Amino acid sequence: MATLKKIDDYRWMVPKGYKPGMRAPGIIYTKESMLKEIEKDQCIDQVANAATLPGIVKASLAMPDIHYGYGLPIGGVVATNISQEGVITPGGVGFDINCGVRLLRTNLTLEDLESRLEELIDTLFATVPTGVGSRGPLKIKGGQYKEVLRKGAAWAVEQGYGWSDDLDNTESRGSIPGADPSLVSSKAQERGKDQLGTLGSGNHFLEVQVVEQVFNERLASVMGLEQGQITVMIHSGSRGFGHQVCTDFLKVMERALQRYQIQVPDRQLACAPYNSQEGQNYLAAMACAANYAWANRQCLAHWTRQAFSKVFGKSPQALGMRQVYDVAHNIVKIEEHTVNGERLRLAVHRKGATRAFPPGHPELPPHYRETGQPVIIPGDMGRASYVLAGTLKAMEETFGSTCHGAGRLLSRQAAKRALRGKSIQEEIDKYGIYARASSKATLVEEMPMAYKDVDDVVEVVHKAGIAKLVVKLRPLGVIKG
């Protein structure tokens, strides 16, 4: 903490002199009581490392859910000026490209669910493929595969997996233009061909929740949320496909460091200029993985609606299973932002960070233009999740970004050690939720004690003004890989 400069109660500066070669300071959004844990895993060093990237503007940013990651810390945001020497770095996106969160609302209440919760969770577990290397019911190949990679969620809707207004309530309408399947390796395509429509493992989940508290009735009403309502949150990404795309391009970027004579303090931040062939090729391949992830969550939402329909004997339409929003939190986007009074085109890397665009932003669907973008923040499987809204202050300070979740407190191995000799079921029962998982190890690694308290994380972003509280969601049941 002696190396950090306190800006205010919720922002701390990593000075430019913290490490040689820093082109900008670092700014960490947190509160003093959370700093001790942040200092433990070297993520402050990663914030400083990111500040050495060519073309960085304003600052290397970190959200309160920050923890150690590959290259950029998870919870990190870095924007580079692509009209100058700005670079693109896969380490600023991560391996699970477009890991993100989708929220569905229903017209069910807690009373409707109380006697049928276990049946519902069991049905979801039987319907939605989960686990490491899980395979889904979709078999895509050839030209159809390319259409998935180019169109994203729209491909799934065209095939009958969802509704057209799902796209209206998805960031970027569920696809990034410029995807080029020819730049994706055969190994990546092989890894992804049977995984579309699967949840995966690790921190991915599908959770049934209840709206426990409403902070802003006007914003909640626009989002279709109200006290006592049942919601469903889906957290997944691009599966093995995106992981392989990242792996492939990390090798490309390591060679690019020498070719373009770029110096970085950590080779996990290997990068290339935006205007280089390497930079453009990564963006086109990353777009394929991002689109795959949106198609994946679209299919998962469809399986979810089917499971609810089976349990309650009504159509998804009759159950009111409309989509609130879908957000990405491992991605780089080319966006326009104002920096020091100048309008710039930037490559905004968000790694474990969520867009939080303000009211009036042209990328928002018309029905959210007055409220700002819905921001979906999952917690752990025993405590709360939140829905917030984007703000003008986020646009001014953080390139329209905020946190993405609670953030890990313990590594997976540390969580296993902490729970050694304890009954996992008893630990789960403490939180009053019903959980199904394809692996007991996953439950151990994902226990609430392994995560920061999401209440603290959300308090920081709300009081710092980079997202506005709308509702709190309490978990009732969850399925995991």
The residues annotated as belonging to the active site are 404
| Contact call for residues 296 and 102 (beta carbons, < 8 A) | no
- The region that residue 55 occupies, defined by phi over 0 for left and psi between -120 and 50 for alpha, beta otherwise, is left
- Let me know how many helices (H) and strands (E) the chain has, helices first: 16, 19
Task: Tell me which DSSP letter residue 91 carries.
Answer: G
| Contact call for residues 437 and 481 (beta carbons, < 8 A) | yes
Tokens matching residue 282:
């990564």
Helix 277-312 × helix 117-127 angle, to 10°: 140
- Partners of 230 in beta bridges: 210
- Rounded to the nearest 5 percent, the helix, strand and coil shares of the chain are 40, 25, 35
For residue 98, give the H/E element and its range.
none
b/e burial code for range 136-171 (CB count within 10 A of at least 16 → b)? bebebeeeebbbbbbbbbbbbbebebbbeebbebbb
- Partners of 341 in beta bridges: none
SS3 call for 474: strand
H helical segments located in 313-433:
392-397, 412-418, 424-429
Q: Residue 475 phi/psi, 5° resolution?
A: -70, 140
Task: Tell me which DSSP letter residue 56 carries.
Answer: B
Strand pairing report for 468-480 and 434-437: parallel
Instruction: Count Cα atoms within 13 angstroms, Cβ side, for 174.
Output: 31
| Contact call for residues 92 and 51 (beta carbons, < 8 A) | no
Q: Which amino acid is it at 6?
A: K
